[in-house]
Amino acid sequence: MSERNPRPEHLIEAVLLVSASPISSPDLSSATGLSKDEMETALGTLAQRYAPETSGIVLRNVAGGYLLSTNPSCSRAVERFREEARPAPLSNAAHEVLACALYLGPLTRGAVSRVRGVNSDAVVRTLLERNLLAEVATDHEAPGSPALLGVTDEFLAATGASSTDDFPPLGSLVSPEELSRVHERLTSTTAPQDGGETP
Amino acid sequence: MTFEGRSLADFTVELDVYSGPYEWLLALILKDELEIFEIPLRELVESYVGAREQNGANNLERDTDFAGSASALVLLKSRTLSPAIDGEGEDPEDEALSPEELAERLTEYLKIRRAAERLRERFASNAGHHPSAHTVPPRPGRLQVRADRVTLTARRTFSRLIEPPLRHLGPITVTLQDLATMIRTALAGGPVSYEILTRDMDRLNRAVTFAAALSLAQEGGLTLAQTEPLGPLTLEPKA
Q: Which of A70, A91, A187 faces B17 most closely, judged by CB atoms?
A: A91
Q: Quick one: pLDDT at residue A191?
A: 53
Domain count, chain B: 2
**Contact state of B133 with A178 under an 8 Å Cβ cutoff:** no
Q: B residues 190-209 near A, CB within 8 Å?
A: none
> What pLDDT was estimated at residue B9?
79
Give the pLDDT band (50/70/90) at residue B11: confident
Which CATH architecture is the domain A92-173 placed in? Answer: Orthogonal Bundle (1.10)
Task: Say if the Cβ atoms of A183 and B107 lie within 8 Å.
Answer: yes
Q: Residue A140 CA to chain centroid, in angstroms?
A: 27
Q: Are B12 and A66 in contact (CB under 8 A)?
A: no
> Taking residues A91-107, what's their average pLDDT?
93
> What residues of chain A, 28 to 57, have a C-beta less than 8 Å from chain B?
none
B16 vs A166, higher pLDDT:
A166
pLDDT attached to residue B164: 65
Which one-letter amino acid corresponds to residue B66? F
Report pLDDT digits (tens) over B156-165: 676 655 566 7
Instruction: Name the residue among B86, B61, B91, B87 with its Cα closest to residue B76.
Output: B86
pLDDT-based confidence at residue B149 (cuts at 50, 70, 90): confident
This model's pTM is above 0.80: no
| Fold match flag (A8-80 vs A92-173) | yes
- Dihedral angle over CA of A68, A70, A73, A75, nearest 10: -150
Average pLDDT estimate for B84-95: 47
> Per-residue pLDDT averaged across A18-31, rounded?
91
Calculate mean pLDDT across residues B154-176: 69
Residue B137, helix vs strand vs coil: coil
CB contact at 8 A, B68 and B62: no
Alpha-carbon gap, residue B141 to B119, rounded angstroms: 40
* Residue B92's pLDDT band (cuts 50, 70, 90): very low
B96 within some domain:
no
Element (H, E) at B184: helix B176-187
Residue A144 in 3-state DSSP? Answer: coil
Q: What's the pLDDT score for residue B218?
A: 85
Question: CB neighbours of A110 closer than 8 A, spacing ≥ 6?
Answer: A146
* C-alpha count within 13 angstroms, C-beta hemisphere, residue B197: 28
Q: Within its chain, how far is the Cα of A148 from the centroid? A: 17
The pLDDT tens digits of the residues spanning A48-92 come to: 999 999 999 999 999 999 999 999 999 889 888 887 777 778 888
Domain A8-80 sits in CATH at 1.10.10.10
Give, in order, the Cα–Cα distances in Å from B28 to each of A91, A157, B146: 12, 25, 42
Question: Residue B116: is its pLDDT beyond 50?
Answer: yes
Tens digits of per-residue pLDDT, A144-186?
888 999 999 999 999 999 999 999 999 898 888 887 877 777 6
* pLDDT over 70 (residue A198): no
pLDDT given at position B96: 63
Of A149 and A193, which is predicted with more confidence?
A149
Least confident piece of the model among B24-28, B97-101, B125-129, B217-221:
B97-101
CB contact under 8 A, B128 and A93: no
Backbone angles phi, psi at B78, to 5 degrees: -65, -35
Q: Say which range, A26-30, A36-40, A75-79, A183-187, has the weakest mean pLDDT.
A: A183-187
Torsional sign, CA B53, B59, B65, B68: positive
Q: Which residue has the higher pLDDT, B93 or B207?
A: B207
Give dist(CA A191, CA A174) in Å, integer: 25
**Min Cα–Cα distance to chain A from B127, Å:** 7
Which residues form the domain of B76?
Answer: 12-53+61-82
Q: Please, which pLDDT band fits residue B82 given cuts at 50, 70 and 90?
A: low
d(CA A30, CA A44): 18
Whether B106 sits inside 8 A of A182 (CB atoms) is yes
What pLDDT is attached to residue B5? Answer: 53
Q: Looking at the DSSP assignment, which residues form a beta bridge with residue B131?
A: A69
Q: Do A190 and B136 touch (CB under 8 A)?
A: no
Q: Measure the CA–CA gap between B128 and B125, rounded to whole angstroms.
A: 9
A68 bridge partner residues: A59
Chain B closest CA to A57's CA: distance in Å? 9
Using a CB–CB cutoff of 8 Å, tell me whether B79 touches chain A.
no
Q: Is B84 exposed, middle or buried (0-12, 13-18, 19+ CB in 10 A)?
A: exposed
Q: Does A180 touch chain B (CB under 8 A)?
A: no
CA distance A16 to chain B (A): 9
Listed by start position, the domains of chain A span: 8-80, 92-173
Q: How many CA within 13 A on the CB side of residue B52? A: 19
CB contact under 8 A, A187 and B99: yes
Backbone angles phi, psi at B143, to 5 degrees: -110, -15
Give the gyration radius of chain A's Cα atoms. Answer: 23
Q: What is the ipTM of this complex?
A: 0.83
Report CA torsion sign: A88, B119, A59, A17: negative
- Weakest mean pLDDT among A11-20, A84-93, B43-52, B83-92: B83-92
Q: How far apart are CA B102 and CA B191, in angstroms?
A: 102
Instruction: Report which residue type is found at A43.
Output: L
Task: Report yes or no: A116 at the B interface, CB cutoff 8 Å.
Answer: yes
Helix runs in chain A, H state only: 8-17, 25-32, 36-49, 75-82, 92-104, 109-116, 121-129, 153-158, 176-190
In a domain, B217, yes or no: yes
The string over B28-56, giving b where at least 16 C-beta atoms fall within 10 Å of a residue's C-beta and e elsewhere, is bbeeebbbbbbbeeeebeebbeeeeeeee
Average pLDDT across chain B, whole number? 78
Question: What burial letters (b/e) apply to A104-121, b meaning 16+ CB within 10 Å?
Answer: bbbbbbbbbbbbbebebe
Amino acid B3: pLDDT = 41
Task: Residue B119: list chain A partners with CB under 8 A.
Answer: 95, 98-99, 102, 159
Least confident of A25-34, A57-66, A184-193, B152-161: A184-193
For the ranges A77-81, A104-108, B89-93, B132-136, the one whose mean pLDDT is highest: A104-108
Inside any domain, residue B196:
yes
Residues of A in contact with B103 (CB under 8 A): 182-183, 186-187
